[in-house]
Structure 1
Amino acid sequence: MSNNQTQVLPVAEEQTDPCCPPLASAPLSEADAFQGAAMFKALSDPVRLRLFSRIAAHPSGEACVCDISDVGVSQSTVSHHLKKLRDAGLLTSERRGTWIYHRVAPAALDSMRRMLDG
């Protein structure tokens, strides 16, 4: 593959529908609890939360790893944390040339918002 081609990086499970009913509406099923816990576990690390916030707040709706990597850890650690966010279904990523661009997965914020809604 040449450096000029676009490559969409795989995610563990692409979320298309928001996960999980509101916590106060009914007891969670085992599957909903597992999916919700994976999202919140991925965000429980301060570096991952900062990276997720930088991507979500980026004016273009996506961010190159070169724009968000100044969070006080090495580049390899940033990549590790971004992979954890992708694996939890919170980010989608696309390689363009030598750079990887990240976006918040379409249903990620809705899923978290819905689950925490009272």
Structure 2
Amino acid sequence: MKRPLAREIAQEYASWFRALADPTRVQIVSLLARQGAPMSVGEIVKAVDVGQSTVSSHLKQLAAVRFVLVERRGTASYYRINDACVDCFPTAADIIMARSVPGLPSR
């Protein structure tokens, strides 16, 4: 009988999917990935056309699962995509769906 993913791995992957379960967070991840450079909250607010407090809340959630990284510059915070985490995301989906992933041992 095949076994499910280890609980710890399943919990981590679930947190990633929860983080992307909101269209505004998907927009923010997409924006930062396409921008390729850190952006301030104000720049992100203008791009996604959502209020500053909402964007800040979404950024906090995305940072908690490491989809975005925060750089402090004086009193300002700049956000950038975490390429390593985003690169792992499609692999996580494949693992959950029991698809083989080249180069990874089966779990």
- For this structure pair, what is the TM-score category when the shorter chain's length is used for normalisation? 0.7 to 0.9
Q: How many correspondences in the alignment?
A: 93
TM, length-normalised to structure 1: 0.69
| Structure 1 stretches of at least 4 aligned residues deviating more than 3 Å after TM superposition | none
Residue in 2 aligned with 1:75?
A: 52
1:44 aligns with 2:21: yes
Residue in 1 aligned with 2:91?
A: 114
1:55 aligns with 2:13: no
Which structure 2 segments of 5+ residues have no match? 100-107
Which structure 1 segments of 5+ residues have no match? 1-25
Mapping 1:1-118, distance limit 5 Å: 27-60=4-37, 62-70=38-46, 71-117=48-94, 118=99
Give the Cα separation in 2 of the matches to 1:69 and 1:91.
15
Percentage identity across aligned positions? 38
Bigger CA radius of gyration: 2
TM, length-normalised to structure 2: 0.75
Would you tell me which structure has more helix in proportion to its own residues? 2
| CA offsets 1:5-34 (integer angstroms, 9 cap, x no match) | xxxxxxxxxxxxxxxxxxxxx731100110
Q: Is the partner of 2:66 in helix, strand or coil?
A: coil
